[in-house]
Amino acid sequence: MMESRKVFFLVLYLLLYSSFSTADLNPDLVNKVEKGIDTSVKLLESLDELANWASKGEDFIPQQDPTCRGTSNGACGSSEVCRNGECVDGCSVYSCGVNAQCSTTNNIQSCSCVSPWIPWKKEEPHREGCRYQELQWVDRNSTDPIPENAVTSKTKHHVCRAHGPDGGWHGGWIYLHGVNTCNYGYDCDEKTADSFQVLVDPCGGSGVYWLSGGIYADSVEIGQAVPWPWIKYVVCSTKGKGIPGKLNVSGLMCNYGYEGYSHRDGNFYSLVKKTCLDSEPRGGKHICLHPLLNFF
């Protein structure tokens, strides 16, 4: 059927052309007639293609023009976008931040973090990239080696936490003496635990910072305070001996266990999270607790 239509238009063209002498024909008119016939043939080809697919009961998938116009992506594949009249790979004209990779689906580019990297707070992988890795509390017992990337105080005491007599987590430090124990303050005593968790920074220490005093928005949490469920303990360290412990409920004293007793020290550091690729500390807003809590 298609061949017969082509023949029809060809005959029509020859008849029109032969009806006039070359001198009588307007070149613009001849050009328009030729383009009109060519367009008509393409239209009939598309109609025949549609009819052929319909007769087979299959979904119609028209042939796409490899070129596009402006920024319209209609003629491009799912992983492509239109640039300067051509369909190009979407990620070739789209950049992602550090530790992020690009993908294009349905002509839309996006960036995602490369595991184990994650965005820092509300940063976007497209702009700032992925500059943080989550801190980890890793199970250990008295005979297990301490991970090389375990977090330490300024005096190189490792940060740990262990379950206390009340069932909650209590922050302390690892006493290295052949067998390792997590020592922490509880009531008036220094408690020891041979089954504990050590704090690990996948970024090798660059994901945390010791910041002077108080509780911050990015302070590293130890766990919920059992007697006060609305309070969470955070990691601290004394400035003198550098013994890690937990901030008490008021956030004004660092509670730690040492030499058999539980101590409280108002001169301390707080452990604060920060981006692994940022050398400057970002402790966030200092949190001020209600004055009624200051007596704890």
SS3 letters across 192-225: EECEEEEEECCCCCCCEEEEECCEECCECEEEEC
Q: What are phi and psi of 93, to 5 degrees?
A: -125, 25
How many domains would you assign to the chain? 2
Residues 236 and 171 in one domain: yes
Flag whether pLDDT at 11 surpasses 60.
Answer: no
- Give me the domain span that covers residue 156: 136-273
Find out whether the peptide bond into 244 is cis, omega within 30 degrees of 0.
no
- What pLDDT shows up at residue 88? 93
Compute the half-sphere exposure of residue 79: CA atoms within 13 Å on the CB side of its CA.
Answer: 5
Average pLDDT, the chain: 80
Distance CA 144, CA 122 (A): 37
Specify if 222 maps to a domain. yes
Give per-residue pLDDT as tens, 193-252.
999 999 999 999 999 999 998 889 999 999 999 988 888 999 999 999 999 999 976 778
Distance CA 43, CA 47 (A): 6
- What pLDDT shows up at residue 18? 52
Flag whether pLDDT at 21 surpasses 60.
Answer: no
Residues 149 and 258 in one domain: yes
- What pLDDT shows up at residue 2? 46
Residues 165 and 87 in one domain: no
Distance CA 175, CA 272 (A): 23
- What pLDDT shows up at residue 85? 86
Residues 78 and 150 in one domain: no
Question: Measured over all CA atoms, what is the biggest interatomic distance in the chain, rounded to whole angstroms?
Answer: 117
pLDDT mean over 3-27: 49
Show which of 117, 132, 147 is a domain's final residue.
132
Query: Is residue 2 helix, strand or coil?
Result: helix
Specify if 34 maps to a domain. no
Specify if 155 maps to a domain. yes
Q: Got the DSSP string for 70-115? A: TT--TTS-TTEEEETTEEEEGGGG----TTEEEEEETTEEEEEEPT
Show which of 115, 132, 149 is a domain's final residue.
132
Residues 265 and 145 in one domain: yes
Residue with token string 């007639």: 33
Residues 124 and 146 in one domain: no
In terms of phi and psi (left: phi > 0; alpha: psi -120 to 50; beta: otherwise), the region of 282 is beta
Specify if 10 maps to a domain. no
pLDDT mean over 26-44: 53
Give per-residue pLDDT as tens, 123-182.
999 999 999 999 999 999 999 999 999 999 999 999 999 999 999 999 999 999 888 999
Residues 225 and 119 in one domain: no
Query: Is residue 40 helix, strand or coil?
Result: helix
Reading the block at residue 116, the tokens are 């184990």
Distance CA 277, CA 197 (A): 26
pLDDT mean over 268-277: 94
- What pLDDT shows up at residue 177? 87
Residues 196 and 164 in one domain: yes
pLDDT band at 34 (very low <50, low <70, confident <90, very high): low
Specify if 46 maps to a domain. no
Flag whether pLDDT at 97 surpasses 70.
Answer: yes
Q: Which residues contact 201 (CB under 8 A, 6 or more apart)?
A: 133, 135, 149, 150, 151, 207, 208
- What pLDDT shows up at residue 211? 95
Specify if 42 maps to a domain. no
Q: Got the DSSP string for 212-272? A: ESSEETTBPEEEE-TTSTT-EEEEEEESSS--EEEE-TTSS-EEEEETTEEEEESSEEEEE
Residues 128 and 200 in one domain: no
- What pLDDT shows up at residue 35? 55
More confident residue, 59 or 102: 102
Flag whether pLDDT at 290 surpasses 70.
Answer: no
pLDDT band at 31 (very low <50, low <70, confident <90, very high): low
- What pLDDT shows up at residue 36? 54
Distance CA 158, CA 168 (A): 20
Torsion of CA 236, 242, 243, 244, to 10 degrees: 30
Residues 190 and 150 in one domain: yes
Residue with token string 């101590």: 263
Are 195 and 138 spatial neighbours (Cβ–Cβ below 8 Å)? no
